[in-house]
């Protein structure tokens, strides 16, 4: 009888130490993940295969904690709302597919009432992409305040910085422009999607400017494209996530879909146009998750028209 009690006690102890305690520890880890307490760690010492699971789980929590910090930092890199100067207004919205994405937009007041703006897309996602975005923001802000007077010259300086600091590990497509109060727009492109020029009563056209992304050795310096932006015209910028988004049958939204959508939209404030683009993309993809970040921004000369 004593042997039976010892056997039952041993089995009970083993179940408690080998199954119940590890299971409770893992459930606590899942709860921590659900409440975004990514600094939580679990400990299990059973001397068997259970020991491997906490290490993997803790690594996941550490990664999520790192991404959580990076996502908070990245959220502060974007303008909190529209950026307006006497030249006009720039407004952007971004939706990421992960905690941290590689899309980036920015705008800053320049000298004499000008408005400088940027749209970019870093290869990859995660913390490394966020760090590249932070570097781009720092360089953009510094060069607008103190550096070369033209968007093309800013791109040249930023590309040299990328080559020096990143080598060939990461690249970034980028567009930089400067809108003047009289409607003169200087615009330079570094491998990014060409923006859409929208003007009531006129066919949609794109400002084509072939070039290579930042960090790559170009055969020639970047060049400014100079146009007069009509007072009723707008420029719409986007990243390739919107172009590559697919419906359940695998059909991409594509340039055709975006162009048709923009042609059908009535004139509206920038915020309404941006939301209409996101809504149309969601209707196209339905239950299919977006494979990449999606960012849309609009530049207009009507200062303050954003609602």
User: For residue range 146-185, what is the model confidence (pLDDT) as tens digits?
Assistant: 877 799 999 999 998 888 887 777 789 999 999 999 999 9
pLDDT band at 217 (very low <50, low <70, confident <90, very high): confident
Q: 58-67, 106-115, 173-182, 215-224: lowest mean pLDDT where? A: 58-67
pLDDT at 162: 86
List the CATH code of the domain at 79-300.
3.60.40.10
pLDDT for 73: 55
Of the candidates 278, 259, 269, 265, the one whose C-alpha atom is nearest the C-alpha of residue 300 is: 269
Higher-confidence residue of 218 and 109: namely 109
Q: What is the DSSP string of 55-86?
A: HHHHHHHHHHHHHHHHHHHHHTTS-SS-EEET
Q: Rounded to 5 degrees, what are φ and ψ at 53?
A: -70, -45
Which residues does 150 contact at the CB level (< 8 Å), separation at least 6? 178, 186, 188, 224
In the numeric block, which tokens belong to residue 213? 């992304």
What are the DSSP calls for 130-177, one per residue? Answer: HHHHHHHHHHHHHHHHHS-SSHHHHHHHHHHHHHHHHTTS--EEEEEE
Q: What is the pLDDT of residues 118-135, one digit of tens each?
A: 999 988 767 777 778 888
| Phi and psi at residue 196, to the nearest 5° | -100, 125
Q: What phi and psi, each to the nearest 5 degrees, are found at residue 174?
A: -160, 140
Neighbour-count burial for 6-26, b at 16+ CB within 10 Å, e otherwise = eeeeeeeeeeeebeebbeebb
Percentage of the chain surpassing pLDDT 90?
A: 46
Please state, in angstroms and rounded to a whole number, the distance separating the CA atoms of residues 150 and 176: 9
What confidence tens digit (pLDDT) does each residue in 40-80 have? Answer: 555 545 444 444 445 544 554 454 455 455 555 556 678 88
Of the ranges 17-26, 130-139, 281-290, the best mean pLDDT one: 281-290
Look-up: residue for tokens 């923006």?
195
Q: What whole-number distance in Å separates Cα of residue 172 and Cα of residue 214?
A: 5
Residues 6+ apart with CB under 8 A from 249: none
Residue 99 is predicted with a pLDDT of: 55
Strand order in 234-238's β-sheet?
83-85, 88-95, 294-300, 234-238, 196-198, 205-206
Tokens found for residue 234: 């707008």
Is the distance from CB of 305 to CB of 89 less than 8 angstroms? yes
Q: Are 26 and 34 in contact (CB under 8 A)?
A: no
pTM for this prediction? 0.76
Nearest to 87 by CA among 60, 58, 108: 108
What SS3 state is found at 44?
A: coil
- For residues 290 and 158, the model is more confident at 158
**Count of residues making up the chain:** 307
Pairwise CA distance, residues 222 & 6, whole Å: 81
How do residues 233-266 score in pLDDT, each as one tens digit?
Answer: 999 999 988 999 888 999 999 999 999 999 999 9
Model confidence at 205: pLDDT above 70: yes
- Ranges 6-10, 80-84, 85-89, 158-162: which has the least confidence: 6-10
Report the C-alpha gap between 273 and 306 in whole angstroms. Answer: 10
Q: Which two tokens stand for residue 31?
A: 């709860």
φ/ψ of 123, rounded to 5, equals -65, 135
Domain ranges of the chain: 2-72, 79-300
Higher pLDDT: 306 or 91? It is 91
Q: Which pLDDT belongs to residue 74?
A: 55
pLDDT for 198: 96
Query: Are residues 97 and 289 in contact, defined by beta-carbon separation less than 8 angstroms?
Result: yes
**Mean pLDDT, to the nearest integer, of 274-297?**
90
The chain-wide mean pLDDT, for the chain, equals 79
Give the tokens for residue 43: 């400990």
Residue 254 to residue 221: CA distance in whole angstroms = 30
């Amino acid at each position: 009888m004593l042997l039976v009690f010892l056997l039952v006690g041993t089995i009970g102890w083993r179940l408690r130490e080998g199954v119940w305690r590890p299971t409770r520890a893992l459930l606590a880890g899942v709860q921590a993940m659900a409440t975004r307490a990514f600094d939580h760690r679990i400990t299990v010492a059973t001397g068997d295969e259970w020991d491997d699971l906490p290490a993997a789980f803790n690594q996941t929590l550490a990664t999520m904690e790192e991404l959580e910090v990076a996502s908070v930092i990245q959220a502060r890199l974007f303008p909190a709302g529209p950026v307006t100067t006497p030249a006009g207004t720039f407004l952007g919205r971004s939706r990421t597919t992960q905690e941290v994405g590689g899309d980036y937009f920015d705008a800053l007041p320049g000298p004499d009432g000008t408005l400088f703006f940027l749209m970019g897309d870093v290869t990859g996602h995660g913390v490394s992409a966020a760090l590249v975005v932070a570097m781009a923001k720092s360089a953009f802000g510094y060069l607008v305040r103190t550096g070369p007077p033209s968007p093309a010259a800013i791109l040249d300086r930023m590309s040299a910085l990328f080559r020096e600091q990143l080598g060939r590990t990461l690249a970034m497509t980028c567009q930089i422009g400067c809108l003047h109060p009289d409607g003169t727009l200087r615009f330079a492109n570094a491998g990014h999607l060409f923006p859409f020029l929208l003007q009531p009563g006129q066919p949609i056209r794109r400002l084509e400017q072939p070039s290579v992304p930042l960090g790559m050795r170009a055969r020639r310096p970047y060049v400014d494209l100079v146009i007069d932006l009509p007072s009723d015209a707008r420029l719409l910028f986007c990243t390739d996530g919107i172009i590559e988004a697919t419906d359940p049958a695998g059909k991409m939204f594509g340039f055709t879909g975006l162009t048709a959508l923009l042609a059908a939209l009535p004139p509206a404030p920038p915020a309404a146009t941006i939301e209409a683009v996101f809504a149309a993309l969601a209707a196209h993809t339905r239950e299919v998750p977006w494979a990449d970040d999606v960012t849309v921004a609009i530049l207009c000369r009507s200062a303050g028209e954003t609602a």
